[in-house]
Amino acid sequence: MNIIVCAKQVIDVSEMKVDPNTKKPILQGVPQKISDIDKNALEEAIKIKEKLGGKITVVTIGPADAKERIKELLAMGADEGVLVPPPEKFDYYVISNLLAGAIKNIGEYDIILCGEASIDMFSGQAGPRLAGLLGIPQITYAQSVNAEKDKVTADRNMGDNAVTTESSYPVLITVTKEINEPRLPSLMQILGAANKPINELSAESLESGLTSKVEMLELKGVSMERKNIVYKNDIDESISKLVDSLAKEGVLR
């Protein structure tokens, strides 16, 4: 089974600060990590490999420093990494074409696994968009996956309905956070990962002259101003103050 996992490096949103004056988010200096749900995608890939054998290649479209993050994925159990730095300006059109280019470069594949969405942008566009571009079936929002030799079945959370879908290979599957618990690599695995290859490719070598179809005009801040009145002493007194305050706010009737 040749399995490809698409993984994105994102900023750790919980560490993000907002400039108190402009209310704009400060993106510089925020720690980077692999988007959580992409780790679930890799975990699922490892489970499939354990069952059916094969090879796992991780593809990341990201800056050169994402190499360190790819090493974490190699330690978890991926066999190879591919890193493609995007052009200065990019959108989902550019990213999906670079992913498709990198995947064609890898060659034969049976399953492409992605997280349902990245935790920074939370669009969920990259997976199904890539499936469309490659012209292969897609199974989205998988909560459990059962891969067999010549077909795969998945239970999907589609909001109002639970849908079970089956597909032959090749297929692209996006997984939810609930599908599994990503493993933590052992020290041996971390050390072993240093010997696994990371293939760095240039965007130009895959697809030349890609320019965005969507342009970011502005990143506006969101003001979240709350009263932050916290009662922390005597519980009975706290409760009576809270109930009085809520009554004054007109939300108790």
Partner 1 sequence: MVLVYSDDKKITFELLNKGSEIAKELGEKLTAVIIGKIDESLSQEYISYGADDVFVSETDIDTFKAEEYANYFENIIKETKSEIIIIGSNKNGKELASRLAGRLDVGCIIDCTNIYLKDNKLTSERVVYSGNAIAVEQFNSKPAIVTVPSKVFDPLPKDEKRKGEIIKKKFEIEKSASKILKVQEMKSEGVNVEDAEIIVSCGRGFKNKEDIKMIQDLADAIKGRTVGCSRPIAADLKWLSEDHWIGLSGHKVKPKLYIAAGISGQIQHIAGMRDSGIIVAINKDPEALIFKSADYGIVGDLYEVLPKLISAVKEKIG
**Residue whose CB is less far from partner 1, 83 or 119:** 119
Q: Tokens for 10?
A: 């994102």
Q: Tokens for 44?
A: 């699922």
Q: How far is the CB of 67 from partner 1 (least distance, A)?
A: 24
Among 22, 123, 186, 205, binds partner 1 (CB under 8 A): 123
- Of 39-47, 54-62, 71-79, 122-130, the segment contacting partner 1 by CB under 8 A is 122-130
The pattern of x and - marking residues 14 through 53 that bind partner 1 according to CB under 8 A reads x-x-x-----xx----------------------------
- Of 38-46, 80-88, 117-125, 193-201, the segment contacting partner 1 by CB under 8 A is 117-125
Full DSSP string of 114-155: EESS-TTT----HHHHHHHHHT--EEEEEEEEEE-SS-EEEE
Of residues 174-193, which lie at the interface with partner 1 (CB under 8 A)?
176-178
- Judged by CB under 8 A, how many residues of this single chain contact partner 1? 86
Please enumerate in sequence order all residues whose Cβ is within 8 A of that of 209, keeping only pairs 6 or more positions apart, or say none: none
The pattern of x and - marking residues 207 through 226 that bind partner 1 according to CB under 8 A reads -----xxxxxxxxxxx-x-x
Among 93, 146, 198, 199, binds partner 1 (CB under 8 A): 93
Check residue 88 for interaction with partner 1 (CB under 8 A). Answer: no
Among 2, 54, 124, 146, binds partner 1 (CB under 8 A): 124
Closest CA to 126 of 86, 166, 69, 68: 86
Q: For 141, left (φ over 0), alpha (ψ -120 to 50), or beta?
A: left
Q: For 173, left (φ over 0), alpha (ψ -120 to 50), or beta?
A: beta
Q: How far is the CB of 225 from partner 1 (least distance, A)?
A: 10
Check residue 64 for interaction with partner 1 (CB under 8 A). Answer: no
The residue count of the chain comes to: 253
Chain-centroid distance of CA 116 in Å reads: 7
| C-beta of residue 45 within 8 angstroms of C-beta of residue 59 | no
Q: What is the residue whose two structure tokens read 């969920």?
A: 124
Of residues 129-148, which lie at the interface with partner 1 (CB under 8 A)?
129-141
What is the residue type of 177?
A: K
- Of 45-53, 54-62, 186-194, 240-248, the segment contacting partner 1 by CB under 8 A is 240-248
Give dist(CA 110, CA 169) in Å, integer. 5
Q: How far is the CB of 226 from partner 1 (least distance, A)?
A: 5
Q: How far is the CB of 231 from partner 1 (least distance, A)?
A: 5
Q: What is the CA radius of gyration of the chain?
A: 22
Check residue 247 for interaction with partner 1 (CB under 8 A). Answer: yes
| C-beta of residue 12 within 8 angstroms of C-beta of residue 33 | yes
